[in-house]
Amino acid sequence: MSADAESTTESTYDVVILGGGSGGYACAFRAAELGLRVALVEKGKLGGTCLHVGCIPTKALLHAAEVADTAREGEKFGVKSTFESVDMSGVNAYKDGVIARLYKGLQGLAKAHKIELVEGAGRLVDAKTVEVDGRRITGRNVVLATGSQPKSLPGLEIGGRIMTSEQAMTLDFVPPRVVVLGGGVIGVEFASVFRSFGSEVTIVEALPRLVAAEDEAISKTLERAFRKRGIAFRTGVRFESATQSGDTVTVTLEGGDTIEADLLLVAVGRGPVTEGLGYAEAGVTVDRGFVTTDERLRTGVDGVYAVGDIVPGLQLAHRGFAHGIFVAEEIAGLNPAPIDDVGIPRVTYCDPEIASVGLTEAQAGEKFGEVETYEYNLGGNGKSQILGTQGFVKLVRQKDGPVVGVHMVGARMGEQVGEAQLIVGWEAFPEDVAGLVHAHPTQNESLGEAHLALAGKPLHAHN
């Protein structure tokens, strides 16, 4: 074999992955476990948005916010604690420490899996080739995993006191007044953090309700809880413009109303990162920035797959993670079951927390016609009373059929979404879950109680 032929063989991988976020690294690790030769291209840090500027840092901020609230409210529990202030340098050090430990672990796993990590901005050249800083990397299969980035609105420039979640993550001060543009997941999480840290917060949302993708009953409870916490919100109203003057941002709404703030957080969603990466030129179908795939995450180009936020659907790190594993197993010939967005759990980590899986009441009604619902109030749950939280577990079932949706709101209810996912995923009937023994006293009991009630044998039901 000639030297040229040998080098060509050596540089051909089984899988070349463009993007090292949740979807990309999961695909890389699983493919390596299955004996495939893998190259992973990442322009920033391994772990991507989720680890460095998304899920992990925001949840660290939210935990710091919970600690601040606990200090304020100690007297409620007979503990004489006082809240002095939030030291953002301390909060950021705590947050960065969590990220650093997870990042180190991820780098260790990449090394252990013998993955070639290629640092630099990659571009798809053709169906088999990714180019990074002039180097061409060839793969029998290529996986596009370039993720998403914060969006803005036309004419709304990010800079100064107008920022997205990425800049808000590294703030070194607590702004006295904040306007949050967008009442979706990111918007309500940051509103919750800022309020706990002591800011006056106003959310502006064009849709008629906060967290509009959730079941309507969830939105109503969250809005009630936010009012109680002193978080203001304007729903059904459109943003018009924002101007900065010194340290002040003036936000103008449709109709001429203005709100003055020290910071405007733009949380109007995330858009796919696909522009200028050669996708369309290589024959991959791109629609409004998103990559079109079939249910097996294949693009229209043979051997090219797409995973995570660039594929239309839920923009969640754990969806990308599941996509990555699926594609690795698909390439290895294991014929895995496709990932269905309906069965993916969703958690919003504001206070109170929101957790859901499956169909909302409206979606179920549209799909099945007749549905039954039940709301179990956390007033009947001992652990929730100990925590001092309010909320409910709402079940949606097909009439005389299985449970197709579980929707929960209340402190720490995100921790209950695992069982909820199994209930919906395995198409359980209320009677199936009612027969399971749930530990006492836990918030997990609220799921058991809700199913007992829907099965016709309510015990601790306070409605």
Residue 460: pLDDT band with limits 50, 70, 90: confident
Whether 59 has a pLDDT exceeding 80, the answer reads: yes
In a shared domain, residues 317 and 365: no
Task: Show which of 287, 306, 341 is a domain's final residue.
Answer: 341
CATH number at residue 283: 3.50.50.60
User: Is 331 part of a structural domain of the chain?
Assistant: yes
In a shared domain, residues 142 and 180: no
Long-range pairs of 310-317 with CB within 8 A, sequence gap ≥ 24: 310/144, 310/145, 310/146, 310/147, 310/148, 310/272, 310/273, 310/274, 312/287, 313/341, 314/341, 314/344, 314/346, 315/148, 315/270, 316/344, 316/346, 317/21, 317/22, 317/49, 317/50, 317/54, 317/55
- Percent of the chain scoring above 70 in pLDDT: 97
In a shared domain, residues 212 and 113: no
In a shared domain, residues 101 and 250: no
pLDDT tens digit string along 248-267? 999 999 999 999 999 999 99
Whether 177 has a pLDDT exceeding 70, the answer reads: yes
DSSP 155: T
Task: Show which of 268, 290, 308 is a domain's final residue.
Answer: 268
Region 367-393: mean pLDDT is 97
In a shared domain, residues 178 and 325: no
Region 27-34: mean pLDDT is 98
Sign of the Cα pseudo-torsion (428, 350, 57, 289, in order):
positive
Whether 362 has a pLDDT exceeding 70, the answer reads: yes
* DSSP per-residue letters across 206-243: SSSSTTTTS-HHHHHHHHHHHHHHT-EEEES--EEEEE
Query: What percent helix, strand, coil does the chain show, rounded to 5?
Result: 35, 25, 35
Predicted local distance difference test score (pLDDT) of residue 334: 98
In a shared domain, residues 383 and 446: yes
Please say whether the beta carbons of 201 and 223 come within 8 A.
Answer: no
Whether 218 has a pLDDT exceeding 90, the answer reads: yes
In a shared domain, residues 142 and 279: yes
Residue type, 49: T
E runs forming strands in 104-147: 116-119, 122-126, 129-132, 135-144
pLDDT tens digit string along 292-344? 999 999 999 999 999 999 999 999 999 999 999 999 999 999 999 999 999 99
User: Is 28 part of a structural domain of the chain?
Assistant: yes
Residue 5: pLDDT band with limits 50, 70, 90: very low
In a shared domain, residues 9 and 105: yes
User: Is 232 part of a structural domain of the chain?
Assistant: yes
Region 116-125: mean pLDDT is 97
What are the tokens at 243?
């101007």
**Residues 293, 332: Cα–Cα separation, whole Å:** 19
Residue 331's CB: how many other CB atoms inside 10 A?
21
Half-sphere exposure of residue 205: CA atoms within 13 angstroms, side-chain side: 24
- Assess whether the previous peptide bond of 352 is cis (omega < 30° from 0): yes
Please say whether the beta carbons of 243 and 249 come within 8 A.
Answer: yes
User: Is 461 part of a structural domain of the chain?
Assistant: no
Region 158-171: mean pLDDT is 97
Predicted local distance difference test score (pLDDT) of residue 2: 37
CATH number at residue 424: 3.30.390.30
Region 158-182: mean pLDDT is 97
In a shared domain, residues 20 and 79: yes
Element (H, E) at 397: strand 392-398
The strand pair at 304-306 and 290-291 is best described as unpaired
Catalytic positions, please?
A: 440
User: Is 463 part of a structural domain of the chain?
Assistant: no
Residue 153's CB: how many other CB atoms inside 10 A?
16
pTM above 0.85, yes or no: yes
User: Is 154 part of a structural domain of the chain?
Assistant: no
In a shared domain, residues 244 and 304: no
Distance between alpha carbon 159 and the CA centroid of its chain, in Å? 24
What are the tokens at 219?
């939105």
**Residues 154, 261: Cα–Cα separation, whole Å:** 21
Task: Show which of 246, 268, 290 is a domain's final residue.
Answer: 268
Residue 463: pLDDT band with limits 50, 70, 90: low
2 CB contacts (<8 Å, ≥6 apart)?
A: none
In a shared domain, residues 63 and 26: yes
User: Is 157 part of a structural domain of the chain?
Assistant: no
Region 5-29: mean pLDDT is 82
Number of domains within the chain: 3
In a shared domain, residues 300 and 372: no
User: Is 203 part of a structural domain of the chain?
Assistant: yes
> Domain of 385?
352-454
Residue 11: pLDDT band with limits 50, 70, 90: low
Residue 83's CB: how many other CB atoms inside 10 A?
15
